[in-house]
Each structure stands twice: as C-alpha cells, then as structure tokens.
Amino acid sequence: MARPRKPLLSTDRIVATARSLVDAEGLAAVSTRRLAAELGVSGPSLYNHFRTKDQILEAVADAVSAQVDLSMFEDGRDWRTALHDWAVSYRAALRDHPNIVPVLARGPGRRPAGLRLADAVFGAMVDAGWPPAQATSIGALMRYFIMGSALGSFAGGFVDDETAYDPADYPHLGQAHLLSEQQEKIDERAFETGLAALLDGLALQYEQVRRTV
C-alpha cells in the first residue's frame, strides 16, 4: 500500500484540534483520549509529539500569542501609539480564544511566541527611553489589563430581564437589563476608555523620566 501523501499526525494538527476544543468547550475538554478520538489516531501516537496534556495546552497558548501583531514596535511608531496598537491586537487574539487566557496568564515560560512578545514590548520601551525597571512594569501592567479585559464581559454579566433588578434594591440599575443587548459595543468602549487612561498616566510619567535624563 502506498504511503499517504500527508502524515496522518503532526504537531500543527494536534495544536489546531486542541485549540478548537478549548474554544468550543473549555480547558477541561482537552485530554489525550479526546484528542486522539478527534484526530482519528491511537492515544499513544500523541506522545511522539507531546508528553503531557499541559504541553499541548502550552502549545495552544503559544499559537494564540503568535497571532498578536508586533510590527508596531519595528515600523517607527512612537512608544504610546505602539503600545495602543499592540494592546488592541493582543486583546483581539484573546477575544477570539478566551478559554486559553488562564494558561497565558501563567506567563510566557518557555513559549517562543510569548517570549518574542515580551521581548518586543520591553525592548521598545527601553529604546524609547524608559528605564529598564519601568519598562518591565509597563509590560506587566499591560498584560494585567489586557488579560483581565478578556476574562469576561461586564455587559454580559447582567441578565436580559427587566424584573431582575428591583429599583427598591438597586435604584441605579433600572436599565441594566439592556446591557447584554449591546455587550460587544460596551465592552469595546470600556477597553478603549481604560487603555486611554493607562496611556495618559504613562505619558505623564514619561515626561518626568525625560526631565531627569
């Protein structure tokens, strides 16, 4: 019998299948048995590519990190514009794959794309004149903000039922039942509001840094 033209199993195919499972059903859905069934292979064959489930999830997380645009740190944009554009790209990747955020929140570890991301942000801030310690803090701050925004929806946390929020108990939530109808718009606006506030604050600090140089 002739060999198949494409390998039955590959690292990329395992990662893509695991990512689809995480997106659809969450982290708990991923197991070597489930993946093997989805891929149509025997369970032990996965171990030729990954030794553990955690390694698979780490690879999924890195594949999501690789979707984040880093070109803004290389094309001459000023540090504030670059941070803004990077944050928007990063959040977009997490918004598309929110169930993997808890794995990403552990930090980049040894993940290549995650490390390239951290390196790009830190390097761009230092090159812009931020002291290394503050550049580190900026990278951490932005990660906290972006990942926090991707963990859940503020607007989606309210039920679409006008009887749920009795004015006697919640006098200021009379329109809260309408929030879920505009979930995406509200969450996007909240993200941009918070991002602008963060960057405004950093710009003030940057002025102080430059005066001491």
Say yes or no to pLDDT of 7 above 70.
no
Q: What is the dihedral of CA 173, 178, 180, 182, to 10 degrees?
A: -120
Average pLDDT, the chain: 93
Contact 174, 167 (CB under 8 A): yes
Contact 35/21 with Cβ under 8 angstroms?
Answer: yes
> For residue 35, what are the contacts with CB-CB under 8 A and spacing of at least 6?
14, 17, 18, 21, 46, 56
> Which residues, including other chains, have CB under 8 Å from residue 166's CB and lie 6 or more apart?
none
CB neighbour list of residue 192: distance below 8 Å, 6 or more residues apart: none
- Gyration radius of the chain over CA positions: 22
At 72, which amino acid appears? M
Across the range 54-80, mean pLDDT stands at: 97
What's the average model confidence in pLDDT over 121-135? 97
- Per-residue pLDDT of 147-173, as tens digits, reads 999 988 888 899 999 899 999 999 999
How many beta carbons lie within 10 A of that of residue 103, not counting itself? 19
Is residue 57's pLDDT more than 60? yes
Neighbours of 151 (CB within 10 A): 11
Q: Domain 11-62 maps to which CATH number in 1.10.10.60, 3.40.50.720, 3.30.70.260, 1.10.3720.10?
A: 1.10.10.60
**What is the architecture, at CATH level 2, of domain 69-211?**
Orthogonal Bundle (1.10)
For helices 53-65 and 11-25, angle between their N-to-C axes, nearest 10 degrees: 90
Over residues 122-151, the mean pLDDT reads 96
Q: What kind and span of H or E run contains 149?
A: helix 132-150
Ramachandran quadrant class, 107 (left: phi over 0; alpha: psi -120 to 50; beta: rest): left
Question: Domains of the chain: which residue ranges?
Answer: 11-62, 69-211
Per-residue pLDDT at 3: 54
Give me the mean pLDDT over the 173-202 stretch: 93
